[in-house]
């Protein structure tokens, strides 16, 4: 169906853009289910942490949708990170296997004729390996938003997938980014994205 759709639309000078949600995946996804079942390979796809010594959550981070950003990881006694809904488990981009899977997904759709990709909240993929408590909501956001490693992730994804076709258009949804970083994300010489958007205009 997608192959037919992209081909027919392309005949009429219309191309298809798909939304790539790479910061997190559904807790119903096979990766998460395999992790829950004890597969250590897939457990490394996620931010799994034990509670603190006093039994409290791994960090005091808050979900953007309200409440703690941690939920119980089955009966393991550990917790998994979800910056958004509890059904959306954050993927650990420090793991090369996660980055390779992301490139495979983009390339899968490229072969189906898709010519555009929108990357959902991509600039929150750059969390530290060592997660620490925040001191206030503003500082907390800086612990995982717009960190320098995001540029490295984008360059790698670009080279391994959509950057191989100069006709492809990309757009990044960048949460609370700066103008400086917006320029870096979209500078052609940096080989990251075609364009980005943020939500600051909605908050003025």
Give the residue numbers marked as catalytic: 120, 173
User: Distances in Å between the alpha carbon of 170 and those of 68, 101, 188?
Assistant: 32, 18, 12
Distance (Å, whole) CA 8 – CA 6: 6
Angle at 201 between CA 198 and CA 202, to 5 degrees: 95
Distance (Å, whole) CA 159 – CA 176: 25
Angle at 135 between CA 129 and CA 140, to 5 degrees: 50
User: Distances in Å between the alpha carbon of 102 and those of 68, 138, 189?
Assistant: 27, 29, 22
**Dihedral, 94, 41, 21, 174 alpha carbons, nearest 10:** -10
């Amino acid at each position: 169906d997608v192959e037919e759709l992209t081909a027919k639309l392309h005949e009429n000078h219309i191309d298809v853009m798909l939304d790539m949600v790479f910061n997190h995946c559904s807790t119903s996804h096979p990766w998460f289910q395999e992790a829950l079942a004890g597969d250590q390979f897939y457990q490394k796809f996620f931010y799994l942490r034990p509670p603190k010594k006093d039994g409290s959550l791994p960090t005091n981070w808050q979900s953007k949708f309200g409440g703690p950003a941690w939920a119980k990881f089955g009966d393991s006694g550990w917790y998994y990170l979800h910056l958004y809904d509890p059904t959306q488990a954050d993927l650990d981009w420090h793991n090369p296997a996660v980055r390779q899977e992301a490139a495979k997904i983009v390339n899968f759709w490229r072969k189906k004729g898709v010519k555009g990709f929108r990357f959902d909240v991509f600039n929150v993929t750059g969390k530290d390996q060592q997660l620490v408590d925040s001191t206030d909501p503003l500082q907390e956001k800086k612990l995982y938003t717009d960190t320098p490693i995001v540029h490295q992730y984008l360059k790698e994804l670009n080279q391994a997938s959509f950057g191989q076709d100069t006709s492809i258009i990309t757009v990044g949804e960048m949460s609370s980014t700066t103008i400086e970083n917006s320029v870096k994300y979209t500078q052609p010489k940096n080989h990251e994205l075609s364009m980005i958007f943020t939500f600051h205009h909605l908050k003025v």
